[in-house]
Amino acid sequence: MTKRILLVLALAAAAFAGCIGDRPISSGEVEARMTEAAGDLESYRFEIEMDQMVEFSNFDGDGSLDGEVISLRWSGAINLTDQSSMEVSTSTRATLAGNRTAEDTVEVYFINSTLYQKMGDEWIGLFQPDPAFGIEKVDQLAHLMEMIERSEVVVEGSDNVDGQEFVRLKVNPDNDTAYGIMLGQISSVDPRIPLMIDMNGLFERGRELDWTVWVTEETGLPTESRISAVYVAGPGILRMPPESPENLEIRFDTLEVRRFGGYHEPVVVTLPEEAKAAPVYLPDLPEDENVSSF
């Protein structure tokens, strides 16, 4: 019996290492293992890096070029067992020449069914009647898994980094997911920009997107997601007055990298002292909602 169990375990390990006999591992097997492993998670940590460049061509005359470089650095930790989390994000903006124009930092904690956020120098709290829903909104790994589940996934190969084996996946998102990625990336530059663009036309004729995900063979959990995207809105896609020049163009280049790790490692969320005195507000709820537990 012991030998049989060891044989089964060896076959399972071989399957995720890339093959059973001569059969390569399928994307379905990788996805199934990811889903199972993610469902048993107690905690994890994440880092998000997004670098964007937007260029406005010919808006200030023929041959002119203006634009911005936007950088986002976002890190956090989530305890799924007690439904708590902490995260800090910093975004910076600079001219194409590299002169910094703005910087903003946001600090957020979710603990004891309350979302605490630092706004400038002040803290505010928002009570969440449903803690499960509150943690869902900040669960970055769950968001990634949902997008992958809606997409076509192809096993591209495997990589070895510092002795650790990874399965490399090519992700081809469905139209709804791809459109959501495009809208989110462009809106993060400026939420007004989509009003200047025929977004459906941009989606059909002016986009390029490449998406790769790495999964550890040991755990079946993703460690990195990398999305590289280019969107070009030119004539026929830009919504401009009839008298505008015909050679106007807006180009968006985005590299978005999400890293995950620290799986099952202890995550203890402690509210900063200055946040403990923050006013806590109730959300707007229908009259029949009961929040007496607050």
Most confident of 15-29, 37-51, 278-292: 37-51
Which phi and psi (to 5°) does residue 242 adopt?
Answer: -55, -30
- Residue 126 inside a domain? The answer is yes
Give the rounded distance of the alpha carbon of 148 from its chain centre.
Answer: 12
- Residue 42 inside a domain? The answer is yes
> Which two structure tokens, joined as six digits, stand for 198?
């025929």
- Residue 96 inside a domain? The answer is yes
**What is the distance between the alpha carbons of residues 284 and 79, in angstroms, rounded to a whole number?**
27
pTM listed for this prediction: 0.84
> Which two structure tokens, joined as six digits, stand for 178?
């791809």
Domain count of the chain? 1
The model's confidence at residue 62, banded by pLDDT at 50, 70 and 90, is confident
Quick one: pLDDT at residue 286?
55
Quick one: pLDDT at residue 4?
41
The model's confidence at residue 63, banded by pLDDT at 50, 70 and 90, is confident
The model's confidence at residue 19, banded by pLDDT at 50, 70 and 90, is very low
**pLDDT tens, position by position, 152-188:** 999 999 999 888 899 999 999 999 999 999 999 999 9
- Residue 143 inside a domain? The answer is yes
From the list 68, 71, 2, 95, the residue with the least C-alpha distance to 256 is 71
**What is the distance between the alpha carbons of residues 15 and 219, in angstroms, rounded to a whole number?**
13
Q: Which residues pair with 280 in a beta bridge?
A: 125
Residue 220's CB is within 10 A of a number of other CB atoms, namely 19
- Residue 228 inside a domain? The answer is yes
- Residue 291 inside a domain? The answer is no
Quick one: pLDDT at residue 161?
87
Non-local (6+) Cβ contacts of 283 within 8 A are 126, 127, 128, 129
- Asked if residues 167 and 158 have their Cβ atoms less than 8 Å apart, the reply is yes
Q: How is the beta sheet containing 249-261 ordered, strand by strand?
A: 152-161, 164-172, 207-216, 222-233, 249-261, 43-57, 65-79, 84-95, 100-111, 114-119, 122-127, 280-281
CATH of the domain at 101: 2.50.20.20
**What is the distance between the alpha carbons of residues 77 and 262, in angstroms, rounded to a whole number?**
9
Looking at every residue in the chain, the average pLDDT score rounds to 88
- Residue 294 inside a domain? The answer is no
DSSP letter (8 states) at residue 146: H
Q: Which helix (H) or strand (E) holds 56?
A: strand 43-57
- Residue 202 inside a domain? The answer is yes
- Give the residue numbers spanning the domain of 88: 2-281
Alpha helices in 172-263 (DSSP H): 175-189, 199-205
